[in-house]
Amino acid sequence: MEKEPPKYIRINTLKITKSELIQKLIQKDIMYEDTILDEVLLVKSSRYPIGATTEYLRGYYYIQDLSSCLAVDELDVLPNQLNLDMASAPGGKTTYISQKMQNSGCVIALEPSIKRINALRFNLSRCGVRNSCIYALSGAHAGKLGLKFDRILLDAPCSGEGIIAKDPTIKTRLVPQQIANCVHRQIELLQCAINIVKPGGLIVYSTCTFAPEENELVINKLLSMNNKIKIEPQKYGEPGLTKYGDLTLDQRLTNTRRFYPHLHNTSGFFIAKIRVNSGE
């Protein structure tokens, strides 16, 4: 759990092609390996910090864990859509959504904290994102915008058990009440997302925690409350839990996915792909 996490970079094809960036990486003695996603590279070694190169500052790549990229990949984003990132700062997933939209259509980025909006603005500008609108708004109030979205990404605020390697203090400061608070917020955000997605639209719910309370149990609750949602299968990862302690959960949860550091060489991560039916 505390092993240094692998470093991944996502190539920002809004600014550079993969082959052009690879040439630049080779010139800088940055050794890399391909991953399951074409735009994402695993950095094996580098002479300089990869967050301080001219290439990074110019937005040719974004330092981002593979699991985060997989969440966006599962969103099946297409050009000219109207998409929403409900908890967008610092902007890694927003910039990837924009990249997949080829800077067309619009991606709405919500972030209630002005301080975090500064980081979001910096990253969107650095990556050359033109198709974004940032609103200083909590994801739970996204309905106030009066818009309906093709795709919604909810990378929910969570207890962060999956990123203990990056922040070891989580081990000592996390208390059960915090998980309960996160669960409450996650369900509130997901309910909001279901209300503002277009019929037939897609929601990707993700967390960076192992806690079943914040993952399968949240989706299980959602399935029991809504008959118009469907959990879609995914390409990568381990199937979600359908049993937890004495609880037997909805079998459809096998379509959710878990990512583990020791199996997938990523942060601990959870992804659920939720299709909201038209109700016909």
How, if at all, do strands 238-239 and 149-155 pair?
Answer: unpaired
Q: Which of residues 86-105 bind another protein (CB under 8 A)?
A: 103-105
Per-residue tokens: 41? 């590279």
Q: Is 130 in the site for another protein (CB under 8 A)?
A: yes
Residues contacting another protein: total by CB under 8 A: 34
Nearest to another protein of 80, 181 (CB atom): 80
Per-residue tokens: 156? 């929910």
Residues in the chain: 280
Q: Is 23 in the site for another protein (CB under 8 A)?
A: no
Please say if 69 is a catalytic residue. no
Nearest to another protein of 147, 180 (CB atom): 147
Helix (H) or strand (E) holding 25: helix 18-27
What's the closest the beta carbon of residue 65 comes to another protein, in angstroms?
Answer: 20
The CA distances from residue 165 to 125, 170, 178, 189, 257, in Å, are 29, 9, 19, 27, 21
Nearest to another protein of 17, 104 (CB atom): 104
DSSP string, 236-260: SSEEPPSEETTEE--GGGGGSEEE-
**Pairwise CA distance, residues 136 & 120, whole Å:** 11
What's the closest the beta carbon of residue 105 comes to another protein, in angstroms?
Answer: 5
Check the CA dihedral 232-196-105-278 and report its sign. positive
What's the closest the beta carbon of residue 137 comes to another protein, in angstroms?
Answer: 9
What's the closest the beta carbon of residue 83 comes to another protein, in angstroms?
Answer: 10
Per the CB < 8 A criterion, the answer to whether 276 and 228 are in contact is yes
Nearest to another protein of 46, 178 (CB atom): 46
Q: Which of residues 133-172 bind another protein (CB under 8 A)?
A: 133-136, 145-147
Catalytic residues: 208
Interacting residue ranges for another protein, rule: CB under 8 A: 51-52, 54, 57-58, 80, 82, 103-108, 115, 117-119, 121-122, 124-126, 128-136, 145-147
